[in-house]
Amino acid sequence: MTQQISYHSELGRKTIHLSSLGIPAIYLHIEHATGIAILVAMTLVSLAIDVGRHYHAPTRQLLTRMVGPLLRAHEVDGGRFTLTGATWVLIAATLTLSAFPTIVGVTAFTVLIVSDTSAALIGRRFGRRPFLDKSLVGAVAFAVSGMAVVVFYAIVYQLPAAYVLWGAVAAVVSSIVEAASVRLHMDDNITIPFSFAVTLMMGEWTTHLLQSASFVHLLP
């Protein structure tokens, strides 16, 4: 098992994680192509920092002095090349918002930020009973907060009941995926939004077959 950072450091890390909510907030108010171009540029900058952190000792030492307590063990050492959580989040935003309709991509990415934070903080503080690779209470916190995100967007954009129903199903699916992140051997910043988005799209296709109200094209 990888040694965890302290709970205080986890709080700081997740506070920075929550600042990523600015991505969907801004994306919803600008042109799609502009938003993706900005995300690609930010991702390349973050990737360049990761390369420097790995191959350039002074860069690694500078980052360690600046945000050392917030970094996980694999982000500090100079061994196998890895990406930081910040880079993975930017990759997730770029891919999710590029690959899926606006409401699906935005909801999936928001769930990544809000629900991953909820699962980590609540799971580490109150988790006692294990569930897959995490804790049961963390998985429940993830699912409940994910449903809250879905309801929030449904109210703001007056989305149909089908969106709420399938969004709730997607929240449960992605909570299971997040809890199994270790055995999946994939970064959960990718698996969470994609599992959510794919489930929501499957719900949209089912809704279409049943000739019910569509929801994926209600936002440009």
Residues 4, 120: Cα–Cα separation, whole Å: 11
Q: CB–CB of 155/179 below 8 Å?
A: no
Q: Where are the domains of the chain?
A: 7-209
pLDDT at 173: 97
Output the CA torsion 137→142→143→145 (10° steps): 120
68-86 pLDDT per residue, tens: 665 666 555 556 777 888 8
Q: Which residues pair with 134 in a beta bridge?
A: 131
pLDDT at 2: 47
114-136 pLDDT per residue, tens: 999 999 899 888 878 998 988 99
pLDDT at 73: 61
Neighbours of 126 (CB within 10 A): 12
Mean pLDDT by 10 residues, the chain (220 residues): 64 82 95 96 93 76 66 61 86 96 96 94 86 92 97 95 96 96 87 97 89 77
Residues 98, 190: Cα–Cα separation, whole Å: 13
pTM over 0.95: no
